[in-house]
Amino acid sequence: MSLEAFFKPRGVAVVGATPKPKGGLAIVTNLVMGFTGGIYPVNPNYDTISDIKCYPAISEVPDPVDLAILFVPAKFVPAIVDECGQRGIRAVMIQSAGFAETGPQGKILQEEVDHVAKKHGIRIWGPNCLGMVDSVNKNVFSFASPNMWTVGHIPGNVSLIVQSGMLAGGFLIDNMSHGTMGMSKVCSIGNKSDVDECDLLEYLVSDPDTRAIGMYLEAIPRGRRFAEICKKSPKPIVVLKGGTSQAGAKAAASHTASMAGNGAIISGILAQCGVVQARDFKQMLDICRAFGISPKMDPAMQGRVAILTYSGGAGIIASDFVENFGLKVADLSQETKEKLATVYPDWMPVANPVDLWPAVEKNGGRKVFKTAMEAVCADPDVDMVFLHLHAAGGHLDMDIGQLITMARIAGKPIFCWIIGIMDAARTVHIKAQEMGAPTYRELSRAVESMSVVLQWYKARAMPSSGKDFQPEPAKVRCQVLMEGKQGTLDEHDSKQILASAGIPVVKEVLADTPEKAAEAAHNLGFPVVMKGLAPGMVHKTEQGLVRLGVNTGQEVQTVFAELKAAMGDQGRVLVQQQARIDMEIIVGLVRDPQFGPCLMCGLGGIYAEVLNDAVFAMAPLNMDEALALISRLKNQRMLDGFRGATPVDREALAEVLVCLGGLGMEMEGIREVDINPLVITDGKPLAVDATVIL
């Protein structure tokens, strides 16, 4: 069923409406203030509420009614949902609390509601939520305080999906009272027993009143569907994910799983899908605001910024932030410098940041800022303008509207930083944003938002590499290799599975006698590596079961005996070609409960725990996605041939990731894979140790 009935109902029934100062009255009051359709309070104890006819039961509400909002004690909700179904209402918003969030009994009650709803084909929004506020159409389907009407709705093009009800209300009041941001729709989804972030995100992606979408989420149960919608969205999505600090996979057998935690996988998948990840609430809103207000940016822009300021100190700090956030302080052309020199004092050189205060003292604020804006807007080496505003009059008087219009006509995105007297600053702030210039009270947030918006447009415009690689299906071969096995496989069995999936593995031989071990070593070529494969043991090095640089047949036989003794004659001995190691990578697969098979790529060896440089993505990957995953590692210089080393063959590494992702998708019986290390020799990847956990 479409969600139109929740957003654009012809009539709304409010079950639990009351004339008393409670949530049931707030819902009716909010409807009366803005909703133009039918409003039908339902409560058998009253004839009228807020001068509107009140009905004793949902069954007696007249047509048309598409949406029922329930604000009654939780124990009554299942029966009322059943009545809604019999009445023909197929959209029910439960704002009451007392369900799964309260414990086992509440969960049982919520499941009963779900059962009744499915019987009638009803969509449930909530329970335990604040509902929905649509500032553009003035539809407030919520028990949020009616005080918001006295503050004043500021229609905008940013919509929010928020799992926390009170937080959703806080966003509304804060933004409306400060006047810093307009809103389109704010959706509080609560326990999301039915309608969830995927449903609402899909609706908002196609909503003409929404240009940017912000989300605060604590869990994403339909992870793969969520990722699919985000990938296809033409609109920017900014996500703040709660609960990422919880230690994940503490007892994991593989290094990959221990590095995943909760936050690393989420962060990797958001990046993979082109989603901007926020660190806090204000930052999420500020970035959404930038997307909603600023014009579309040309992906070909280099991010060269002209800083127009009245303060040398502010200009210096702004320059630091510009570089720190990956932008560039523009080198002004000679023509621009000559234009600025016409208003500068003779003693002062022209540079960027453009410190205008001495010029303002000489010629006045309006003339100087207009001249400066004309100059930088005409400069082909300037892509963007960072304008510093001071809302206090005096010498710094300037025509804000004129300056922003000049930048817009020139096609130069403009962002502003403002300080000054509170009321005056608020007025200028609102005016600047109405004209398309995102405005901030902090230098860092202004530059960060500028950078995030540009990088988003650049990422969306990235051309395909044209690289195509389709690994051979491995299911049949893997099923044979896995037959009769369970739990943690030893290194040799694990690498056989990887090889069957097309992943390059080191040459090796299992030996059951000292003589066969020596023969294998001669055939492989000295030196060799010898390993003891004890049942169920993953971390062999810590147990003294790995010997490097074994150089003679006699030494092979001696080491064989030592390894067998260390394992109590229970395990197997592996003789392995010793690879030259230029660099170590860790590649792995984990099966996440929300997103399914996910891949990890990170720096290995001595850098694994020191740098903790690992990135994640959801499988499967194509070559472009695999190359993008590799490019998200922080220490790119290590891959590019640091200190004369051979650069990593990124395409060969990407092929390993594509193969491993395909293996994870084909073989549901594989829980984890840890290739540690995947060594790089002459630029090429080679798996020399691996663990597969079934």
| Token pair of 223 as six digits | 């992870």
CB count within 10 Å of CB 292 equals 24
Task: Please check whether residue 473 lies inside any domain of the structure.
Answer: no
Percent of the chain with pLDDT over 90: 75
Q: Where residue 176 falls among pLDDT bands split at 50, 70, 90?
A: low
Same domain, residue pair 225 and 321? no
Closest CA to 241 of 322, 164, 181: 164
User: Residue 246 has what pLDDT?
Assistant: 52
pLDDT score at 571: 85
Amino acid at 135: S
Same domain, 124 and 136: no
* Burial 619-633, CB ≥16 within 10 A → b, else e: bbbbbbbbbbbbebb
For residue 250, what pLDDT is reported?
A: 42
pLDDT for the residue numbered 179: 61
Regarding whether 356 and 383 lie in a shared domain, the answer is yes
For the segment 305-318, the average pLDDT, to the nearest whole number, is 96
Q: Which of 250, 268, 294 is the last residue of a domain?
A: 294
Q: What is the mean pLDDT of residues 666-681?
A: 94
In the prediction, which pLDDT does 475 show?
Answer: 80
Q: How does residue 249 score in pLDDT terms, banded at 50, 70 and 90?
A: very low
Q: Is residue 150 part of a domain?
A: yes
Q: What is the pLDDT of residue 259?
A: 47
Please give the tally of structural domains in the chain. 5
Q: Considering the domain boundaries, does residue 244 fall inside one?
A: yes
Cα dihedral 27, 29, 33, 37, rounded to 10, equals: 60
Shared domain check, 597 and 689: yes
Task: Please report the pLDDT score of residue 163 as a whole number.
Answer: 83
Q: How confident is the model at residue 178 (pLDDT cuts 50, 70, 90)?
A: low
Residue at a domain's end among 128, 149, 164: 128
Of the candidates 443, 451, 303, which has an alpha carbon nearest to the alpha carbon of residue 387? 443
> Residue 257 pLDDT > 50, yes or no?
no
CATH number at residue 567: 3.30.1490.20
Number of other residues whose CB lies within 10 A of the CB of residue 611: 14
Same domain for 606 and 567, yes or no, is no
Whether residue 568 is contained in a domain is answered as yes
User: Do 613 and 670 belong together in one domain?
Assistant: yes
- 422/342: higher pLDDT: 342
> What is the number of other CB atoms lying within 10 angstroms of the CB of residue 245?
9
Q: What is the pLDDT of residues 590-639, one digit of tens each?
A: 999 889 999 999 998 766 666 788 999 999 999 999 999 999 999 888 88
Question: How many angstroms separate the Cα of 507 from the Cα of each of 105, 333, 553, 584?
Answer: 58, 60, 18, 18
Residue at 492 is within a domain: no
pLDDT at position 609 is: 67
Backbone angles phi, psi at 573, to 5 degrees: -110, 130
Q: What is the mean pLDDT of residues 478-497?
A: 90
Structure tokens at 594: 């929300």
Q: Which two tokens stand for residue 637?
A: 């210089």
Among 142-146, 221-225, 355-359, 658-662, where is mean pLDDT lowest? 142-146
Tell whether 288 is covered by a domain.
yes
CA distance 449 to 283: 9
Q: Indicate whether 160 and 72 sit together in one domain.
A: no
When mean pLDDT is compared across 30-44, 296-310, 595-609, the lowest value belongs to: 595-609
CATH code of residue 186 = 3.40.50.261
Helix (H, G, I), strand (E, B) or coil at 425: helix
User: pLDDT of 506-560, one tens digit each?
Assistant: 999 999 999 999 999 999 999 999 999 987 676 677 678 999 999 999 999 999 9
Identify the pLDDT of residue 643: 75
Query: 262 pLDDT band (50/70/90 cuts)?
Result: low
Q: Judge whether 110 and 99 are in contact, CB under 8 Å.
A: yes
The string of DSSP codes covering 533-576 is: E-TT---TGGGT-EEEEE-SHHHHHHHHHHHHHHTTT-SEEEEE
- CATH of residue 99's domain is 3.40.50.720
Residue 65 structural domain: 1-128
Residues whose CB is less than 8 angstroms from the CB of residue 235 and which lie 6 or more positions away in sequence, other chains included: 204, 205, 210, 211, 212, 213
Check which CATH number belongs to the domain holding 618 and give it.
Answer: 3.30.470.20
Q: Are residues 205 and 185 in the same domain?
A: yes
490 domain residue, yes or no: no
For residues 89 and 166, membership in a common domain is answered with no
- pTM here? 0.91
Task: Please give the sequence-ordered ranges of beta strands (E in DSSP) within 107-241, or none if there are none.
Answer: 123-125, 131-134, 139-141, 158-162, 185-188, 212-217, 237-241
Q: What is the token pair recorded at 384?
A: 């963007």
**Are 664 and 524 found together in one domain?**
no
DSSP per-residue codes, 379-394? -TT--EEEEEEEET-G
- Asked, for residue 176, whether it belongs to a domain, the answer is yes
The span from the CA of 69 to the CA of 125, in Å, is 9
Over 60: is that where the pLDDT of 247 sits?
A: no
Give the chain's mean pLDDT: 91
C-beta of residue 204 within 8 angstroms of C-beta of residue 213: yes
Q: Looking at residues 37-50, what average pLDDT do you find?
A: 97
CA-based nearest residue to 379, from 346, 407, 417: 407
Q: Tell whether 233 and 136 lie within a shared domain.
A: yes
Q: What is the predicted pLDDT for the residue at 62?
A: 96
Whether the link from the prior residue into 353 is cis, omega within 30° of 0, is: yes
Q: What is the dihedral sign for C-alpha 330, 333, 335, 337?
A: positive
Of 578, 594, 609, the residue at which a domain comes to its end is 578
Q: How far is CA 125 from CA 141, 164, 190, 213, 657, in A?
A: 11, 13, 8, 19, 39
pLDDT at 251 over 50: no
My answer on whether 142 and 284 are in the same domain is yes
pLDDT at 445 over 80: yes
Give the Cα-Cα-Cα angle 647, 653, 657 (nearest 5 degrees). Answer: 160
The phi and psi torsions of 681 (rounded to 5 degrees) equal -125, 120
Residue 645 pLDDT: 78
Give the per-residue pLDDT at 396.
81
